[in-house]
Chain A
Amino acid sequence: MNQISKIARVSDAEAAHLARPDTLADLAAQITATAASPAGPAGPVRPAGRPRSRARRAWLIGVPLAAGVAVAAVAVTSMVSPAHRAPAGQAGHARPVPAGHGSVPVRAQVLSFVRHGQYIDVIVRDPVADPAQYRAEFARHHLNITLKLLPVSPSIVGTVVYFGGNHASAITPITATGACHEASGTDQCPVGVRVPVHFRGQADLVFGRAARPGEHYESTASAFAPGEVMHGMNIHGKTVARVEAMLRRRHATVARFNVAGNSAASNVTSVPGRWYVYDAVPWAQHQVLLFVGPSRTEPKAGAPVPGSSAPSPSPSSK
């Protein structure tokens, strides 16, 4: 196997030194600040004494921007048919729209730029505008930043899901206190980014948008967060049949089951109704993924198969 050894791209020792120690420590702190056991009816548990982390935003923060289906529906409409929008000035359109594709709007409407010393704070005012409009506004401020929108679960619509790119570590998120619902012990809501005035790198800023019907969420909050489909639901010790009935009352269904302890069936579309539900995550509009198994309690250490309940505690995009 010496031949294969030769094409190992990187050794473990090299890999361990690629990230800065504070980056690695930060990642561990962010992970342990997330809910250890989100299945519980009481909702996510925050480790005692641990500061509320901004890092929970991708999964655990609830945000009122999409507090209702109506808001989501507006977002969908705007997203799917930018080319079919009413021409500028036409009566009945609620929001100012660009005069044409690629044109530079006269006023900064979709983003706001506020200078603070050596930084510019960029807040997204309109999370459902035409992407060309964001690009144009960033360009006017000499920033090579692309804003993209990804489908996310309702309670995190309108928040920053991810940012990256070359030297993107110079960019930090801005959180707005009180702009979010209490969902996981925090009301810090990432609503924009702080960019150094002289930022000359390239960055991608990804914002959560409402999902279209059937579209998988790229990022999700807890299924039990305010604004999410299972908010307030207690699944503790309940069977699959029971939880499915509870979901039906909310016009929701189960998209997939993740079977604990069975690697061959870790993602299936039906399981016996007498099985038990351990956890849930939002999957798509009116759809969830359930973590299930035949025993009343979730298998503990010593149970078969490593990673059997992997791949993931949350749904992914297609």
Chain B
Amino acid sequence: MPAQDERQRRFEAAYTAHHGPILGYLLRRTDNPDDAADALAEVFLIAWRRLPDLPAEPQARLWLYGVARRVLANQRRGERRRSALADRLRADLVDAYRPPEYTGELARIAAAFGRLPEAERELLALSAWEGLGYGQIAEVLDCSRNAVRIRLHRARRRLAAELDRGPAQPVPHRAHVPSGDFR
């Protein structure tokens, strides 16, 4: 069936182009390679099922980041779903990947970053880790560019304040996960 072939071709193109960056996005945000593997399978399963919603390049990656963010948010809420799709990937990642443990200055930055609310961490990360601009972040988070500019500015100030505070008592992580409205 030609439509099916076209669908398949489109999915495979997106998968080939974006599996690395999406896996990177996931691994930078979770300590657990098992969770990253499951999330990667979930993200691309959603992409496959929602292929008509997947925008053309170069917006596709931003759309996938948006999906990845929600899948991770679900995992953080405790909604883990071990997927058989990810069996082999999970095994590969567990074998090949160890999250780095930071010491010294980096540990201090990581601790300050960890004390920020999740929404601010995500803004800073999309900017610094994925290298996105205001407009692109706005697309991932589904909010206005202006909201991104203002919130990012605020997040940077808070990070600076946290860094100045120096090594503080560990603050218990808030379980809060943004539901998606950054407006």
Chain A residues close to B by CB (< 8 Å): 1-20, 23-24, 26-28, 30-32, 34-38, 45, 47-48, 55, 57-59, 150, 160-169, 173, 190, 206, 218-219, 263-264, 266, 298-314, 316-318
Contact = CB atoms under 8 A, between A and B. Distances in A.
A243 B128 CA distance: 46
Contact of B85 (A3, A13, A55): A55
Contacts of B28: 8-10
Nearest to B45: A31
Given A18-B92, A307-B67, A7 B109 contact: yes
A312 B82 contact: no
B51 to A, nearest CB: 7
Given A12-B24, A264-B180, A316-B79, A34 B45 contact: yes
B74 A7 contact: no
Contact of A10 (B24, B50, B69, B73): B24
Given A4-B109, A306-B63, A9 B84 contact: no
A288 B129 CA distance: 38
B91 interface: yes
B79 A12 contact: no
6 contacts: A16-B21, A34-B49, A166-B94, A167-B95, A310-B46, A311-B71
Contacts of A15: 20-21, 23-24, 27
Given A18-B23, A36-B7, A36-B49, 10 more contacts: A4-B113, A27-B44, A31-B11, A36-B48, A47-B7, A164-B91, A168-B90, A300-B52, A313-B45, A313-B49
A3 B95 contact: no
- In the complex, which range does the number of interface residues on chain B fall in? 35 or more
What are the 5 A-B residue pairs with the smallest beta carbon separation, nearest first? Answer: A16-B20, A316-B79, A306-B66, A307-B66, A169-B91
A317 B78 contact: yes
B21 to A, nearest CB: 4
A293 to B, nearest CB: 12
Contact of B88 (A13, A169, A307): A169
- For the residues of B in contact with A, the DSSP-based class is helix
Contact of B89 (A19, A32, A38): A19
Most chain-B CB neighbours within 10 Å: which of A12, A35, A59? A12
A9 B50 CA distance: 30
Nearest to A162: B82
Contacts of B51: 36
A169 B179 CA distance: 35
B82 A301 contact: no
Interface in B27-72: 27-28, 34, 40-42, 44-46, 48-55, 59, 62-67, 69-71
Contacts of A48: 1, 4-5
Contacts of B154: none
Contact of A306 (B27, B55, B96): B55
Contacts of A59: 83
A168 B91 CA distance: 6
B15 interface: yes
Contacts of B93: 18-19
B12 to A, nearest CB: 6
Nearest to B143: A263
Nearest to B72: A311
Most chain-B CB neighbours within 10 Å: which of A14, A164, A190, A264? A164
B176 interface: no
Given A18-B23, A23-B88, A47-B4, A4 B142 contact: no
Interface string B118-155: 00000011011100000000011010000000000000
Nearest to A313: B49
A5 B84 contact: no
Contacts of A27: 40-41, 44, 85-86, 88-89
Given A4-B124, A6-B109, A16-B24, A306 B67 contact: yes
A6 B80 CA distance: 29
Given A10-B24, A311-B74, A316 B95 contact: no
A156 B41 CA distance: 20
B48 A32 contact: yes
B181 interface: yes
Most chain-A CB neighbours within 10 Å: which of B24, B28, B46, B84? B84
Contacts of A304: 142
Given A5-B129, A8-B129, A312 B42 contact: yes
